[in-house]
Chains A and B, each alone.
Chain A
Amino acid sequence: MEDFLGAIGPILQSTVRNATPLVFAALGGLFSERSGVVNIGLEGLMLIAAFAGVAGAHFSGSALVGLGTALAAGLLFALIHALMCVTFEADQIISGTAINLLALGGTGFLMVVIFGAGGTSPRVNGFASVAIPLLSDIPIIGRALFDQSLLVYLMYVLVPVVFFVVFRTPFGLRLRATGEVPEAVDTAGVNVARMRYYGVALSGLLAACGGAYLSMGLLSAFTENMTNGRGFIALAALIFGRWNPIGAAGAALLFGFALAVTFRVNEQAIPIEFIEMLPYLLTIIVLAGFGGRAIAPAAIGKPYRKE
């Protein structure tokens, strides 16, 4: 029994750590999709931010600066997506796929140019864990929840904040309206394109936080293709969570658990490849079982053209 209880803590801690990038990315996806723009590029946004964060931290010695460069990179790539989808009316899924490829190729390219070789970057000062006094002393869950890096705490705060913004502010109302019936928003005098740019830009910033945490919190260096599908898992979490921040965060926690398991389970019983498959299989099962017919924002995926 004690063994079991003793195991919960570390598993929970690992779950939270693995879920954090997913939550950030899912929240980012929420803003973009609620405004009507599909964002498959979350994967690429996280990746480029992960790299930019490490690059910034490497040259400045400061994790905070790294976070800044990560945010800048995420924002830049997100704005490219917005430009393509909103202004140039590109196909949103194709644009997102291109963003992913751009991030993949770009990070590979920059790894050589900046660090001289592919593979893994040099280690950097990341966001080490900071225990919150008192709270982290709670038995079993205290360390898991409250002995984490600053970015994790940021994630805790952001979930309710995003909920508030989306459902309780005028901005959120307009955002949701833009994703449902852009014509209504347009005739109410609100600029549809601008709202969509905001939505996509926010997705870039939030996904960047996720990427930054991945390379500077969960791990401490950049490895090529380190996101390895997390951006898509985050998207599935968003769908499963019905485009609601609380739901998405909950779903992300579930997928985070699956990812945590891949790091911790020993190979004896099950071959490592099957363990590695777990998060992806889980995503498929969840999507097929529950997510499939979810109702997305009505106007999602289509460029808005004034008559």
Chain B
Amino acid sequence: MSQEPGVTEGRGSALGRMVAGAAGALLFPLIAILLSFVIGAVIVLATGNNPFAAYAALLEGAVGDPFALGRTLLYTTPLIFTGLAVAVAFRAGLFNIGGEGQLFIGAVTAAWLGVSLGFLGPIAIPLVLAACAITGFLWGSIPGVLKAYFGAHEVITTIMLNYVGIYLAYYLAQHPLGQKGPIPGTETIDFAARIPTISAALGRANYGFFIAIVAAVVVYLLLWRTRRGFELRAVGLSPGAANYAGMRLGLNTILALAIGGSLAGLGGGVEVLGVYGNMDVPFVTNLGFNGIGVALLGRNHPVGVILGALLFGALTSGAQEMQFATDVPLQLANVLLAVILLLVTATKLVELIVGKRARDFAAGTHLENERGL
């Protein structure tokens, strides 16, 4: 967990240390990505297709033209939010697998408030997003409280709350808030109160991407420039020492998961206000789980999360082109992402390839202080 800016062993110039630190931080993810693409190529071959053609189409579909780029940004944006949601919790020593449910809660909040406050025009946007952050915060605090007061392991509770959150959101989207009509879901929000798109060339890509970047910056400041962040990190790296220093473990547990919830909730809000304009039933899926891969790939650092989200977004976007141009199903992208996740945490494998020194750079690929289920 320690890719703190500048923290390494021993001496050297500050710049030199940062470069070494960055290089080390990238080592595991890069090797994981490389290996997974190799495995992906084997899978493609096994289905009777040409891996080069498949990967070329993948690339084309990710960044080949402005429209593809826009689509990539579209997929990247929510992943930044869910990735941050996981990363913040990881920093505090917790698994936040509830990104999915938290996002849905934020989405339904936006779907509802966006309609009610639509008359305010663009002023509604910050208000609605703030509300999403709040509802996400509250939803995220539930597993935090369950862990702090009842010792219930957050992995299972956050996963269970995903289902509860999704069903709750679907219920709310159809019954009190639903529109009458053939497609189950909420009313469409007034265009004036939606997040504007960036340019026609980029398709549906909208300024939500920049909101996500801002969120990443806020997370950085939170973790490394505030008292709360210092505590969260201390608790995550060494609950024993943090406790001895007078920090309250329970409070930080709750806050970490709540903040994670607010980030994912914000992501849901941005999806509704920026992309869809409402919440249909069913709504997007898998963003929460993919957020885990993004966070891990990004070593739980906001910059890494942005890069990781870009990678995942690119893969998802490119996979559509790949399926169109070749016969390879777009689910290959999901497979690749899963393999990357697997490999990023297999530190010993990388050690075998690169040598024992790699162990120094393994920080962030394991949850240092987890107690088992």
Contact = CB atoms under 8 A, between A and B. Distances in A.
Interface in A90-129: 90-95, 97-102, 104-106, 108-109, 112-113
Task: Give the most central of B160, B171, B371: most A CB within 10 Å.
Answer: B160
A277 B152 contact: no
13 contacts: A33-B372, A90-B366, A94-B365, A104-B289, A106-B331, A239-B156, A273-B170, A274-B171, A277-B164, A277-B167, A292-B146, A293-B151, A301-B370
A87 B156 CA distance: 26
A274 B168 CA distance: 7
Nearest to A29: B373
Given A113-B329, A229-B163, A292-B151, A101 B334 contact: yes
Interface in B137-156: 146, 150-153, 155-156
A254 interface: no
Contact of A101 (B150, B155, B332, B341): B341
Interface in B333-373: 333-335, 337-339, 341-342, 344-349, 365-367, 370-373
Contacts of A84: 342, 345-346
Given A95-B342, A108-B331, A109-B329, A89 B347 contact: yes
A289 interface: yes
A-B interface, 5 closest residue pairs, ranked by CB to CB distance from nearest: A105-B334, A300-B372, A292-B151, A301-B372, A101-B338
Interface of A: 33, 38, 40, 80, 84, 87-95, 97-102, 104-106, 108-109, 112-113, 228-229, 232, 235-236, 239, 271, 273-274, 276-277, 280-281, 283-284, 287-289, 291-293, 296-297, 300-302
Given A90-B345, A113-B47, A271-B175, A296 B372 contact: yes
A287 to B, nearest CB: 4
Contact of B167 (A91, A273, A297): A273
A80 B338 CA distance: 12
Contact of B331 (A95, A112, A277, A284): A112
A228 to B, nearest CB: 8
Contacts of A106: 331, 335, 338
A284 B329 contact: no
A40 B155 contact: yes
**Chain B at the A interface: SS class:** helix
Contacts of B293: 98, 101
B273 interface: no
Given A88-B348, A105-B334, A284 B372 contact: no
B346 A288 contact: no
B25 interface: no
B339 A112 contact: no
B50 interface: no
Contact of A109 (B153, B331, B347): B331
Contact of A38 (B292, B348, B372): B372
Contact of A284 (B161, B289, B333): B161
B146 A93 contact: no
B345 A95 contact: yes
A94 B95 CA distance: 9
B97 interface: yes
A239 B97 CA distance: 19
A94 B373 contact: no
Contacts of B373: 33, 38, 40, 93, 235, 239, 296, 300-301
Nearest to A91: B366
A118 B95 CA distance: 31
Nearest to A287: B152
Given A101-B338, A109-B329, A284-B146, A91 B160 contact: no
A98 B346 CA distance: 11
Contacts of A292: 146, 150-153
Given A93-B95, A109-B329, 20 more contacts: A84-B342, A88-B346, A88-B348, A90-B345, A91-B366, A91-B367, A93-B367, A93-B370, A97-B292, A98-B293, A105-B331, A106-B331, A109-B43, A229-B160, A232-B160, A273-B171, A284-B161, A287-B153, A296-B372, A300-B372
